[in-house]
Structure 1
């Protein structure tokens, strides 16, 4: 068979679905073979950036590897922002990108694709020959899994038409087996835990599997420590006693009080970045123990007093064993804290707002309660985002997808499309700002229409680039350059084949449950929430 046919079969045989992409002359035949010969699920996006984001959203939701494909040159350069987002969020995906033939020196779309890809933080894997193509693809997938980042699989167009024999090549990367934890670092960590009187246990995205959760929960209860998570592990311990919710810049007031009074932090699968540490204030005066299953994740953010390399479940169980052997009593910290409510944000006070708008924080809380609860939650970036992290909920960490690791707005729609395609049958809810919607999300709204996705898009619309509006205001500069007179978004959603409504008053908000109940779940539904740019809380 042709190389492109062999690659398509490898994708199908290994369950690489959905495949998200935009076709061009260097990848169209591969996609066609994947769909027509193998019945593969292909999501055709409107922009190459959206294709990578969709693959990222699918990977975040499933915990597996996402798959995207584009052609060469400008198609690849369009992917750089999404690749950077996936790299910085440690999301494994493979981008099958076509490349111009090496002999075609004057091709208009010729570019040094390796340099473009590496500049984003993604990895590069070259398809070297027809005979090595299947092994090269397998290597790209294995690297994506083990390196936890996007890997671009570079396919010269001329090689795709060469002949090859199909043979299965393993894509699997074995997980770390249960291991024995020992050594000086373990001794020091156990000593710190034994001496702690107000310890806090923190879990990050690297510790959200069921085995790790159960072991960490047993450990926290044994030492009588409250439980917290990073933003990307939010709701891992929802409903458990002494759950603090998110540890960091979006902690509730009552959780922050407990955190600031703590004397020891034991972090599992968390990078301890500046968001988690609240610019260092949440680790100041504490002994810090960091546990990770990859050496490169230890000390990536704040540098801990003790770093331990191992699976979170194994380390937590080892801590338990030695604490029991030494008959170390619990700290007693949780006895001084309420069992429930530490992770619940305070009810915001209502404020007077200008005509034709609603109050941001109470509306945010009402939307969180009114929208379907069995959901996948996706958040874009913007000034509304920080307060939203503390309010919006999802069933579990895998159901909560963020797209702000690169600080870009307008990436949420692509991720929401990939997540919705990867898990059909339940609603996906995207929250974004009006600037992010117009910058990037609008491009892919019709993709969601074509795919008939059960998607609800909430747009917080203050007619501005909000973060810039605030900065200009703070410096007593007129914010006119940050203001925009956008078109009416609900009619725009309808024109693109979806549906929508506008929330410009509390009366509109009261009517929303009926409108949601009557919506056609095969059409994306947009909710345009009108806000006053002067009254959107950023912190």
Structure 2
């Protein structure tokens, strides 16, 4: 078969059944061959950046490698922001990008694609020849899994028409085996836990599987420690007692008080970045034990007192075993804490909201409760997101996707499309700001329409670039350049094939449940929530 057919067959046989992309002359034939195969679904995005983001969204929901494809030159440069987002969020995905034939020196789309890709922090894998192409693709997939980041597979266009013999190549990456944890690090960790009187157990994204959850619960109950999570593991311990919620800059006041008074933090699968540690204040004066299954994650941000390389279940069970062997009593910490409510945020409405607008936190709380509860939750970036992170909920950490690891607005819609395509059995709810909607999400709204996705897009519309607006106000400057007279978003949604409603009052919020229940689930639904830019809270 032709090489482009062999690549398509390898994707169909070994991939996750989803390929996101934008076609051009250097990848179109491979995409066409893939889309014609049984069990394969190609989802066309409006922009190449969106294709990569959709693959990231699908990977976050499915715990699999995501797949996207673009052509060469400007198509690839359009992907740099999304690739960087994938690197910063440690999301495995493979970008199959066509490349200009090397002999075509004056091609308008010619660029050093390796340099572009490496600038984002993504990995690069070159298709060396038609004979090695399937092995090269398999290597790219294995690298994406092992390195937990995007890897670009570079496909010169002229090679794709060569005849090749198809053969299966393994994409499998062996799981980290369960190993015995021993030595000085184990002794020190057990000693720190034994001496702790106010320990806290923290779970990050690297510890959200069922085995990790069960092992951390056993350890927490044994040492009588409350449980917290990073933002990307939010909801892991929902329903359990002594849950603090998110550990970091979006912690509730009650949880923050417990965390500040803690004398020991035992972190599993968490990078301990500045968000999680609240700029270091949440680990200041504490003994810290960090457990990770990759050496490069240990002490990458905060420096722990003890670093242990191993899987979360293996390490937690080993600690539990030696605590029992040494007959170490529980800390007694949870006996002094309320069993429930520590993770519940405070909702304080602002006064003097201008006419035609609603209070942000009140609306946020109402929306969180009235939108479908069995949902996939996707959040964009913006001024509104900090309080939203603490308040918005999803069934579990695999049902929640964030798109702000690079600090860019406008990445949410494409990410939501990928998540919705991966989980079509439930609605996907996207929260974004008005600036983010116009900057990037608008381009992909019609993609959601074309795919017939059950997607609800909530826009927090304060008519401004909110983060910049608040900085101008704080410096007592005129924020005029941050303000925008946007189009009517509901009309825009309808013109793009969707539907929607506008919320300008408490009565509009009261009417939302009926509108949401009666929506057409085969097209996106937009909720334009009007806010007062001068009565918005950042923190």
Q: Same fold (TM over 0.5)?
A: yes
CA distance in 1, matches of 2:538, 2:186: 41
Q: Where in structure 1 are there 5+ consecutive unaligned residues?
A: none
* Matching residue of 1:59: 59
Q: Which moved more, 1:16-25 or 1:225-234?
A: 16-25
CA distance in 2, matches of 1:223, 1:489: 52
* Matching residue of 1:48: 48
* Secondary structure in structure 2 of the residue aligned to 1:405: coil
Which runs of structure 2 are paired with 1:358-397 in the superposition (5 Å)? 358-397=358-397
* Matching residue of 1:323: 323
CA distance in 2, matches of 1:219, 1:348: 36
* Matching residue of 1:20: 20
Deviations 1:350-409 (A, max 9, x none): 523100000000100000000000000000000100000011000000101000100000
Which runs of structure 2 are paired with 1:469-488 in the superposition (5 Å)? 469-488=469-488
* Matching residue of 1:241: 241
CA distance in 2, matches of 1:16, 1:108: 34
Q: Where in structure 2 are there 5+ consecutive unaligned residues?
A: none
What is the CA-CA distance between 1:218 and the residue it aligns to?
0.2
What is the CA-CA distance between 1:177 and the residue it aligns to?
1.3
* Matching residue of 1:336: 336
* Matching residue of 2:510: 510
* Matching residue of 2:139: 139
Deviations 1:255-284 (A, max 9, x none): 001000100000000000000000000001
Does the aligned pair in 2 maintain the 1:127–1:137 contact within 8 Å?
A: yes
Moved over 3 A (4+): none
The answer to whether residue 119 in structure 2 is matched with residue 123 in structure 1 is no
Does the aligned pair in 2 maintain the 1:201–1:265 contact within 8 Å?
A: yes
Does the aligned pair in 1 maintain the 2:12–2:37 contact within 8 Å?
A: no
Does the aligned pair in 1 maintain the 2:295–2:309 contact within 8 Å?
A: yes
What is the CA-CA distance between 1:517 and the residue it aligns to?
1.0
Does the aligned pair in 2 maintain the 1:17–1:67 contact within 8 Å?
A: no
Deviations 1:175-233 (A, max 9, x none): 11111001111111110000000000000000000001100110011000000000000
Does the aligned pair in 1 maintain the 2:350–2:535 contact within 8 Å?
A: no
* Secondary structure in structure 2 of the residue aligned to 1:158: helix
Does the aligned pair in 2 maintain the 1:9–1:38 contact within 8 Å?
A: no
What is the CA-CA distance between 1:476 and the residue it aligns to?
1.1
What is the CA-CA distance between 1:348 and the residue it aligns to?
2.1
CA distance in 2, matches of 1:241, 1:402: 26
What is the CA-CA distance between 1:349 and the residue it aligns to?
3.3
Which runs of structure 2 are paired with 1:75-154 in the superposition (5 Å)? 75-154=75-154
* Secondary structure in structure 2 of the residue aligned to 1:291: strand
* Matching residue of 2:177: 177
The answer to whether residue 424 in structure 2 is matched with residue 461 in structure 1 is no
* Matching residue of 1:256: 256
Structure 1-normalised TM-score? 0.99
CA distance in 2, matches of 1:38, 1:452: 20
Deviations 1:282-313 (A, max 9, x none): 00110000000000000111111110000000
What is the CA-CA distance between 1:536 and the residue it aligns to?
1.2
Deviations 1:152-177 (A, max 9, x none): 00000000111110000000101111
The answer to whether residue 216 in structure 2 is matched with residue 216 in structure 1 is yes
* Matching residue of 1:10: 10
Structure 2-normalised TM-score? 0.99
CA distance in 2, matches of 1:203, 1:448: 33
